[in-house]
Structure 1
Amino acid sequence: MSYPNTRETINLIKEIVSIPSPSGNTNKVIEYVEKYLSEFNIETKRNRKGGLIATLPGKDTNQHRMLTAHVDTLGAMIKEIKPSGRLKIDLIGGFKYNSIEGEYCQIETASGKVYTGTILMHQQSVHVYKDAGKAERNIDNIEVRIDEKVHSADEVRALGIEVGDFVSFDPRVEITENGYIKSRHLDDKASVGILLQLIKQIKTENITLPYTTHFLISNNEEIGYGGNSNITPETVEYLAVDMGAMGDGQSTDEYTVSICAKDASGPYHYEMRKKLVQLCVENDIQYKVDLYPFYGSDASAAIRSGHDIVHGLIGPGIDSSHAFERTHQSSIENTAKLLYHYIQSEMIK
């Protein structure tokens, strides 16, 4: 029995996290995924929201499965161009300003031109501001310093930068010799890489799926509605592949696949959860069952939108979510193994 190549998956994840794609501005990374899948003669289509759907036929065409992972990330948008030539930003997604302080960033104008900058406190210099450490990290105090010679709002606008332009964060991706991958946006580009490798394996090894299976690369998950549409009436099981959240009281770690029993939307389908655990036990896959108290997924969005489906959520364990994230190749591998066995399993009765 073979599984997707973990090292190849990690290198693919490195490429994907390096493509800026804050929610609302994901076309470049969707194009990358389109091109990747086209190399294996996999037909894809975009939904009107900009997400990408690949469908692989199975023996049973009357019952379908859907697997999702989201390619949109946290980011920001220019709220105001200050008289000083600095930029005030508003956040895209659920994270805190302190998690981006000191980060390098890119500003993309409506014409497509990209400028670089750094996200800083207005009261950054300890040689000038007595309260540099105590000042609140918020929309009024955090700003972007552009790497251009600008001293006024007019000079910034002359560059083509305007209110509403997207700001993306430098992922700072690094793969260590002992198997860690650390980067921003492993939520959820780690899962996207895993799904793309799985699709590649299905095609190159001519694996026959028991059911027609749709793979949705969604692009609005961070703002709550990425995977809530384009679900065929025949779809019975819907599995979101997203990160497992780590912290105090959590069982999730960086080395196993995390199976979610409940998040902020409520419990996931009990029989689906038990089936996923059973697949792990039967195939020697290292796993943890966990609850994520402040979390929602594409699967929970699909349930909220009224779809009559069996829903589940799994994913690699990610440390320091929505900040400087990290996981290990063991977690990537265990997640890939569970997905490999899941897509070839029988439906829940």
Structure 2
Amino acid sequence: MTKIRVEETIDLIKNLVSIPSPSGNTNEVITYVDKYLSELQVETKRNRKGGLIATIPGRENNKHRMLTAHVDTLGAMVKEIKANGRLKIDLIGGFRYNSIEGEYCQIQTSTGRVYSGTILMRQTSVHVYKDAGKAERNQENMEVRIDEKVHNADQVRELGIEVGDFISFDPRVQVLPNGYIKSRHLDDKASVGILLRLIKEIMEEKIELPYTTHFLISNNEEIGYGGNSNITPETIEYLAVDMGAMGDGQSTDEYTVSICVKDASGPYHYDFRKKLTTLAEQNNIGYKLDIYPYYGSDASAAIRSGHDIVHGLIGPGIDSSHAFERTHKDSIENTTKLLYHYVQSDMIL
């Protein structure tokens, strides 16, 4: 892809991460994606879970492909309105309390009102609490300080805030001149941006795909079941596009496309993986093979739900996943290139 196209993808990612969408409250971002695809005259439909399926017909319709990326993110929910006018929270998704300490947030009420706040330790002030640094970061000690004049639970409820209201985290997105992209929720809105830009490329260049291809923008991946339904009986290959996890012992980096060989669900389809690596090598695409030890994807959820498919997983390398995430435009570009060649390739079966 050209530099201009990569920059367009990054602009899409910036827009996506700026739309609050914790699992369970994703209608606004799904609507944004639906509008984007509708303007490209791509057929879309929503499933009952609230996800979005876009379909591009191919030359052959008795074999289908499905690619998926998830638009839901980590977040929280109001667990309790405390007597001091602050909020106890319950986490949505698999992350740790310490990763959101000091984070700005939004509280969205069931009537649509939005309030700002900050997630803090109850014992934050070092001038008051001797154990400020040692106290455990957990549900009991962390709370949301609402940016309103509230001093008790009744005043909070007068704002319309109630148990079950969604809390989203400020993405703090930055795109640096040297190509780095820093933001919360690059998992997995970086991949959603990549798929949207790929679809635009297909439509604008009038690329005829060899097989009917479905693009599922799932909305419950972070809680385990986003991509496990609405898979047509004709679907043979199912490719999840999700972040590549980085850390000690990992080969994934922020500059290549990560091809997952195994995660917590077990190995991904061996021949499918080999097909992806062959495509990368034939087209001079930088890639890394990796195992993600504490990870599951929409593809593994689809396998668990009993679908007879060939499943794979690729994605841009993301540093500090489920915390202060970062990637680079090179990884976005390499992931896009691999997908571009994949959707035009022959199936392995």
Give the aligned partner of residue 263 of structure 1.
Answer: 263
Give the aligned partner of residue 47 of structure 2.
Answer: 47
Distance in 2 between residues matched to 1:304 and 1:3, nearest whole Å: 39
* SS at 1:16 equivalent: helix
* SS at 1:134 equivalent: coil
Q: What whole-Å deviation, never above 9, does each CA across 1:120-145 have from its counterpart, x for those lacking one?
A: 00000000000000000000001000
In 2, are the aligned partners of 1:22 and 1:72 still within 8 Å (CA)? yes
Aligned positions of 1:107-256 closer than 5 A: 107-256=107-256
Distance in 2 between residues matched to 1:277 and 1:4, nearest whole Å: 26
Size of the alignment, in residue pairs?
349
Give the aligned partner of residue 291 of structure 1.
Answer: 291
Q: Which amino acid aligns with 1:254?
A: E
Give the aligned partner of residue 273 of structure 2.
Answer: 273
Q: What whole-Å deviation, never above 9, does each CA across 1:25-70 have from its counterpart, x for those lacking one?
A: 0000000001111111112100000000000000010000000000
Identity %: 81
Distance in 2 between residues matched to 1:348 and 1:224, nearest whole Å: 27
Distance in 2 between residues matched to 1:12 and 1:110, nearest whole Å: 28
Give the aligned partner of residue 327 of structure 1.
Answer: 327
Distance in 1 between residues matched to 2:4 and 2:182, nearest whole Å: 20
Distance in 1 between residues matched to 2:5 and 2:202, nearest whole Å: 13
Give the aligned partner of residue 97 of structure 2.
Answer: 97
Q: How many Å apart are 1:90 and its aligned residue?
A: 0.3
Give the aligned partner of residue 58 of structure 2.
Answer: 58
In 2, are the aligned partners of 1:6 and 1:329 still within 8 Å (CA)? yes
Give the aligned partner of residue 68 of structure 1.
Answer: 68
* SS at 1:209 equivalent: coil
Distance in 2 between residues matched to 1:345 and 1:132, nearest whole Å: 57
Q: What whole-Å deviation, never above 9, does each CA across 1:280-310 have from its counterpart, x for those lacking one?
A: 0000000000000000000000000000000
Give the aligned partner of residue 304 of structure 2.
Answer: 304
Distance in 2 between residues matched to 1:195 and 1:86, nearest whole Å: 40
Distance in 2 between residues matched to 1:4 and 1:205, nearest whole Å: 15
Q: TM-score, normalised by structure 2?
A: 0.99
Q: TM-score, normalised by structure 1?
A: 0.99
In 2, are the aligned partners of 1:73 and 1:187 still within 8 Å (CA)? yes
Distance in 1 between residues matched to 2:130 and 2:235, nearest whole Å: 59
Q: Which amino acid aligns with 2:211?
A: Y
Distance in 2 between residues matched to 1:271 and 1:163, nearest whole Å: 48
Q: How many Å apart are 1:2 and its aligned residue?
A: 6.4
Moved over 3 A (4+): 1-4
Distance in 2 between residues matched to 1:162 and 1:40, nearest whole Å: 40
Q: Which amino acid aligns with 1:45?
A: K
Q: Which amino acid aligns with 1:301?
A: A
Q: Does 1:6 align with 2:12?
A: no
* SS at 2:233 equivalent: coil
Q: Which amino acid aligns with 1:273?
A: R
* SS at 1:273 equivalent: helix
Distance in 2 between residues matched to 1:13 and 1:320, nearest whole Å: 18
Distance in 2 between residues matched to 1:3 and 1:52, nearest whole Å: 28
* SS at 2:59 equivalent: strand
Q: Which amino acid aligns with 2:123?
A: Q
Q: What whole-Å deviation, never above 9, does each CA across 1:126-175 have from its counterpart, x for those lacking one?
A: 00000000000000001000000000000000000000000000000000
* SS at 2:210 equivalent: strand
Distance in 2 between residues matched to 1:30 and 1:170, nearest whole Å: 19
Cα 1:3–1:329, aligned 2, differ >3 Å: closer, same or farther?
Answer: closer
Q: What whole-Å deviation, never above 9, does each CA across 1:85-115 have from its counterpart, x for those lacking one?
A: 0000000000000000000000000000000
Distance in 2 between residues matched to 1:149 and 1:213, nearest whole Å: 52
Distance in 2 between residues matched to 1:292 and 1:273, nearest whole Å: 15
Measured on the aligned residues, the alpha-carbon RMSD in Å equals 0.9
Q: How many Å apart are 1:4 and its aligned residue?
A: 7.7
Distance in 2 between residues matched to 1:4 and 1:63, nearest whole Å: 33
